[in-house]
Structure 1
Amino acid sequence: MVDVSAKQPTYRTATAQSIVVLPGEVLQHLTDGELQTKKGAVFQTAIIAGIMAAKKTGDLIPLCHPIGMDNCQVYIKLNTDNEVVIECIASITAKTGIEMEALVGASIAALTVYDMCKAMSHDIVIKETKLISKTGGKRDFKRA
């Protein structure tokens, strides 16, 4: 673990994104912006899973500092290519952290979508997970 004891706390934010490609046989179950399966409402469950996972990042990633978040939000929408776009936005005032929490939140939300839809098709692709932006700490970052 990196020693952060000499660092000053700063306000930090991070936004991460995962994209899930669902085949037509899954998308045909989309009603009013939500997928319903035998397991329940897919997007609402994925949002809760993403937030819960972000809170557990320090337990999941070796050497990652356990931190308490000030805020974590997960948003899910379909883009113009009918891909599921998951965005996790997290914030904290601390000496370290928050980008891994946002990345874990987006990743686990994507895995939850996969898990809840796999009974309809295994032709589901978690296309990418990436950091979109972060502020605070040594340097800010914003993907072009």
Structure 2
Amino acid sequence: MVAITNKSTTHRVAIAVGEVRFSNPDPCLLIAANALKKGDVLAVARIAGIMAAKATPTLIPLCHPIQITKVAVDMWLDEMLGGEAEVGKDQGGLKAFGGVKIEARVECQGQTGVEMEALTAVSVAGLTVFDMCKAVDRGMVIDGVRVVSKSGGKSGDWVDGRRMHGGRIEGGGGTKRLEA
């Protein structure tokens, strides 16, 4: 385990995202109508994500236990997941039948970041959606799980893979000012 004893305690935030894409129209319709046999998919998956963030050190070897001060898991049904594609149009081997988008925000006052907790929340929320919908769609894909921003700590802040300096994002084709 990496020593964090001499690291400063700072406010740390990580945001991760991911999605579950459906291979047929049934899951979207059933989730929207709250008609799946296992219950309210989005509510159950949201709670699973929150619980997973809190359990991260028991799931990931050598991950420090952190006193998390906030976990928010937001999920929404996207009937056109995959962009501007038409429903049923081929999206690289998977037709666009919609899906669920997931975002987790984790915060703490600590000596190490909360990226793993945010990623774990998104991953387990996605797995929960898969589990609750597998009776009507065995071809679902969990995709795009990644950290999109982090702040706090010695390494500084970054958004979507670009380092931030003084409220400015650098890299990825230029620098732009972030609005608060």
Q: Does 1:143 align with 2:160?
A: yes
Name the SS for the 1:36 alignment partner: coil
**Residue type matched to 1:143 in 2?**
D
Name the SS for the 1:52 alignment partner: helix
Alpha-carbon separation, structure 2, partners of 1:56 and 1:70: 14
**RMSD (CA atoms):** 1.4
Residue 28 of structure 1 corresponds to: 29
Q: Does the 8 Å contact 2:54/2:117 carry over to 1?
A: yes
Residue 139 of structure 2 corresponds to: 123
RCO greater where, 1 or 2, for CA within 8 Å and sep 6 or more? 1
Q: Does the 8 Å contact 2:13/2:150 carry over to 1?
A: yes
Residue 63 of structure 1 corresponds to: 62
Report deviation, 1:78: 3.0
Alpha-carbon separation, structure 2, partners of 1:76 and 1:36: 17
Structure 1 gap ranges (5+)? none
Alpha-carbon separation, structure 1, partners of 2:139 and 2:156: 39
Residue 47 of structure 1 corresponds to: 46
Residue 17 of structure 2 corresponds to: 17
Report deviation, 1:74: 0.3
Alpha-carbon separation, structure 2, partners of 1:38 and 1:143: 37
CA 1:36–1:141 in structure 2 vs 1: closer, same or farther (change >3 Å)?
A: farther
**Residue type matched to 1:24 in 2?**
P
**Alignment size in residue pairs:** 142
Report deviation, 1:51: 0.2
After superposing on structure 2, the runs of 4+ consecutive aligned residues of structure 1 that deviate more than 4 Å are none
Report deviation, 1:30: 3.2
**Residue type matched to 2:19 in 1?**
I
Name the SS for the 1:128 alignment partner: strand
**Residue type matched to 1:139 in 2?**
G
Q: Does the 8 Å contact 1:11/1:94 carry over to 2?
A: yes
Q: Does the 8 Å contact 2:71/2:107 carry over to 1?
A: yes
Q: Does the 8 Å contact 1:20/1:124 carry over to 2?
A: yes
Name the SS for the 2:42 alignment partner: helix
- CA offsets, 1:41-97, max 9 Å, x none? 000000000000000001110010011200000000134423311000010010012
Q: Does the 8 Å contact 1:36/1:42 carry over to 2?
A: no
Report deviation, 1:8: 0.9
Which structure has the bigger radius of gyration? 2
